[in-house]
C-alpha cells in the first residue's frame, strides 16, 4: 500500500504544479484563440452551441441541440469562473497523466531522477499529444468534425499504440519487437482518423494555425515539466516501500 | 506479451503489480472523466482544457 500512497502523493504534487503552469501558459496562448473562435462559431451557426455564459437568455432562444449539446446544461460563467474550472481540469489532467506515467515508469525500474522523468514526460507528449494530433489536429470551437465516439476511440487507440511502440523500442532489444514497434507507431495513421464530410468552417485558417502551434508548444512544456517534477518528487517519497517491495525489487528499482 | 518481456527484463516483483495497476487505473479514470466524459456539465466545465489538450471535443 505504501507504494500506491507514495505514487499518488508524487502524482498530486507533479500534477498540481504542472497543471498550474499549463493554465498560466494557456491563458496567454490557447484560451484567447478559443474565445476568438467562439465569436465566429456563434456568429456563423444558428446558435450551434454556446459555451459562454448568459445561459438564461440563450437557453430559451436556441431550441436545436446541435452537436448533442443541450443548451439547458450548466456552464461556467466567462471570466474568472471559467478560468477556475479550466485550472481545475488542467490540474486533474496533470494528476491523472502523472499517475499513469509514474506507474509505467515503476514497472520499468523507476525514473531514477529528473532526467528519466523528463524522458518519460517527452514520451508522454509523443503518445498523448503529437501522435493523436497527426490524425486529429487540435480543433477550435466551431470547426467541423466527425462523430465524437469514433474520434475518441481512434484517439485512445493511437495513444495506446504509440505508447506501446515507444516502450518496445526502448525496453526490448530484438529485431522482431522493433518491427512490431514500428507497426504499432504507424498503424493508427494507416487506418486514419475519422474525418468530417466537409472541412468548411467560419473559423479563419490563420486562427486555427496559431491555435495548433500554441497547443503543441504549451503541451510540450507541460509534459516536460510534469515528467521532470514527477522524477524529482518520486525520489523524495519512498517511505515504507522497502518493507513491502522486498530487497531484490528494491535493488532493481534503484 | 509486453508485460512478460518487461517482467523478465527488469525483474518487476509480483507485489508491485497490484499497486501499479491500481495507480494506472486511477489515472486513466481521472483523465477519462476530465477529457472523455459525455456528460454535458463535465464537458462545459473542462471545455477549454479539452480544446487545449487536443482531446476530441464536440
Nearest CA in chain A to B29: A96
Q: Residue A245: enclosing H or E segment and its boundaries? A: helix A241-245
A5-16 pLDDT tens trace? 999 999 999 999
Cβ(A217)–Cβ(A29) under 8 Å?
yes
- Whether the pLDDT of residue A140 is over 80: the answer is yes
The runs of H, that is alpha helices, within A45-191 are: 55-61, 80-107, 114-125, 131-135, 148-171, 175-191
- Whether the pLDDT of residue A199 is over 90: the answer is no
% of chain A at pLDDT higher than 90: 72
Q: How far apart are CA A139 and CA B42, in angstroms?
A: 19
Q: How far apart are CA A146 and CA A42, in angstroms?
A: 20
- B-facing residues of A in 187-246 (CB < 8 A) are 215, 218-219, 244-246
pTM for this model (two decimals): 0.84
- Whether the pLDDT of residue A244 is over 70: the answer is no
Q: Which position has the higher pLDDT, A94 or A72? A: A94
Nearest CA in chain B to A103: B20
A77-135 pLDDT tens trace? 998 999 999 999 999 999 999 999 999 999 998 999 999 999 999 999 999 999 999 99
Tens of pLDDT along chain B (58 residues) come to: 445 554 444 556 778 899 999 999 999 999 999 999 999 999 999 999 999 999 998 7
Q: How far apart are CA A99 and CA A7, in angstroms?
A: 7
CA distances from A54 to A60, A77, B37 (A): 11, 8, 24
pLDDT at residue A58 in the model: 40
| Chain B positions in Cβ-Cβ contact with residue A67 (cut-off 8 Å) | 58
- Whether the pLDDT of residue A242 is over 70: the answer is no
> Are B23 and A140 an interchain contact pair (Cβ–Cβ within 8 Å)?
no
A136 touching B (Cβ < 8 Å): yes
Q: How far apart are CA B22 and CA B16, in angstroms?
A: 10
A55 touching B (Cβ < 8 Å): no
CA distances from A249 to A20, A170, A186, A191 (A): 34, 21, 35, 40
> Are A152 and B21 an interchain contact pair (Cβ–Cβ within 8 Å)?
no
Q: How far apart are CA A170 and CA A40, in angstroms?
A: 45
Q: How far is A159 from chain B (nearest CA, A)?
A: 11
pLDDT at residue A25 in the model: 97
pLDDT at residue A163 in the model: 97
A26-65 pLDDT tens trace? 999 999 999 999 998 888 654 444 444 444 444 444 444 3
Nearest CA in chain A to B6: A108
pLDDT at residue A240 in the model: 76
Please name the member of A136, A171, A248 whose beta carbon is closest to the beta carbon of B11. Answer: A248
Q: How far apart are CA A30 and CA B57, in angstroms?
A: 15
Q: Which position has the higher pLDDT, B15 or A221? A: A221
pLDDT at residue B58 in the model: 77
Q: Which DSSP symbol is given to A67?
A: G
pLDDT at residue B21 in the model: 94
A157-183 pLDDT tens trace? 999 999 999 999 999 999 999 999 999
| Chain A positions in Cβ-Cβ contact with residue B24 (cut-off 8 Å) | 99-100, 103-104
- Whether the pLDDT of residue A252 is over 50: the answer is no
How many other CB atoms are there within 10 angstroms of residue A38's CB atom? 21
Q: With cut-offs at 50, 70 and 90, classify the pLDDT of residue A243.
A: low
Nearest CA in chain A to B44: A75
A27 touching B (Cβ < 8 Å): no
Q: How far apart are CA B11 and CA A253, in angstroms?
A: 9
**DSSP output for A79-96:** THHHHHHHHHHHHHHHHH
pLDDT at residue A71 in the model: 57
pLDDT at residue A65 in the model: 39
Please name the member of B2, B27, B40 whose beta carbon is closest to the beta carbon of A73. Answer: B40
Nearest to B48 by CA among A72, A59, A165, A214: A214
A183-197 pLDDT tens trace? 999 999 999 999 998
> Are A245 and B54 an interchain contact pair (Cβ–Cβ within 8 Å)?
no
Cβ(A15)–Cβ(A96) under 8 Å?
yes
Q: How far is CA B47 from the centre of its chain?
A: 19
| Chain B positions in Cβ-Cβ contact with residue A26 (cut-off 8 Å) | 48, 52
Amino acid at each position: 500500500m505504501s507504494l500506491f500512497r507514495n505514487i499518488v502523493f508524487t502524482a498530486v504534487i507533479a500534477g498540481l504544479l504542472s497543471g498550474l503552469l499549463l493554465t498560466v501558459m494557456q491563458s496567454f496562448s490557447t484560451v484567447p484563440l478559443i474565445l476568438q473562435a467562439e465569436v465566429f462559431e456563434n456568429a456563423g451557426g444558428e446558435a450551434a452551441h454556446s459555451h459562454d455564459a448568459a445561459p438564461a437568455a440563450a437557453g430559451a432562444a436556441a431550441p436545436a441541440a446541435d452537436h448533442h449539446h443541450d443548451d439547458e446544461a450548466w456552464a461556467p460563467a466567462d471570466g474568472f469562473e471559467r478560468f477556475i474550472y479550466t485550472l481545475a481540469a488542467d490540474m486533474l489532467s496533470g494528476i491523472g497523466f502523472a499517475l499513469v506515467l509514474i506507474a509505467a515508469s515503476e514497472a520499468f525500474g523507476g525514473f531514477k531522477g529528473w532526467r528519466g522523468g523528463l524522458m518519460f514526460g517527452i514520451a508522454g507528449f509523443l503518445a498523448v499529444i503529437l501522435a493523436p494530433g497527426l490524425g486529429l489536429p487540435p480543433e477550435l470551437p466551431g470547426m467541423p468534425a466527425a462523430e465524437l465516439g469514433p474520434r475518441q476511440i481512434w484517439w485512445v487507440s493511437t495513444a495506446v499504440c504509440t505508447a506501446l511502440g515507444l516502450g518496445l523500442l526502448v525496453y526490448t532489444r530484438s529485431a522482431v519487437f522493433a518491427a512490431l514497434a514500428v507497426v504499432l507507431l504507424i498503424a493508427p495513421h494507416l487506418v486514419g482518423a475519422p474525418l468530417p464530410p466537409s472541412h468548411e468552417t467560419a473559423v479563419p485558417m490563420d486562427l486555427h494555425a496559431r491555435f495548433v502551434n500554441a497547443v503543441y508548444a504549451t503541451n510540450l512544456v507541460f509534459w516536460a515539466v510534469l515528467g521532470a517534477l514527477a522524477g524529482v518528487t518520486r525520489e523524495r517519497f519512498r517511505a515504507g516501500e522497502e518493507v513491502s517491495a522486498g530487497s531484490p525489487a528494491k535493488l532493481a528499482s534503484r | 506479451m509486453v508485460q512478460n518481456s518487461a517482467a523478465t527484463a527488469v525483474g518487476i516483483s509480483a507485489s508491485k503489480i497490484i499497486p501499479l495497476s491500481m495507480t494506472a487505473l486511477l489515472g486513466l479514470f481521472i483523465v477519462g472523466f476530465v477529457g472523455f466524459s459525455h456528460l454535458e456539465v463535465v464537458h462545459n466545465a473542462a471545455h477549454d482544457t479539452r480544446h487545449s489538450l487536443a482531446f476530441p471535443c464536440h
